[in-house]
Amino acid sequence: MVKKYTSEGIPILKKGILETFIRDMSVRKEEGTIQDYQDEIVERIRKSNPLYLDCCDSLEEYYSYKTHEEIFALLNGLIIGYEIVRRQGESNKLEESQNLD
């Protein structure tokens, strides 16, 4: 049986999930809709896990010595990382519901 979660319960990423996410981002970039896509991700987090966004916002205070661009990159990384892990968790849940593991 393939291990699906870390000992902390975080989904372990599969290569296919990461490749799909990168492909989706590339397509959105080519279409000029990457900002809309990122806004959709933020809205999804806002609805399902609002405290995560509160935590991200509060991190800005701790990094006040950084430039605006550096803070933006940090927050963007947190949002993208969340989305990748969310997708893997969703995939795991689907596999488990269909006993595909």
Rg (CA), the chain: 16
Q: Is the dihedral of CA 16, 78, 52, 10 positive or negative?
A: positive
* Mean per-residue pLDDT over the chain, rounded: 91
9-30 pLDDT, tens per residue? Answer: 999 999 999 999 999 999 999 9
29-40 pLDDT, tens per residue? Answer: 999 999 999 999
Question: What per-residue confidence (pLDDT) applies to 101?
Answer: 57
- Global pTM reads 0.86
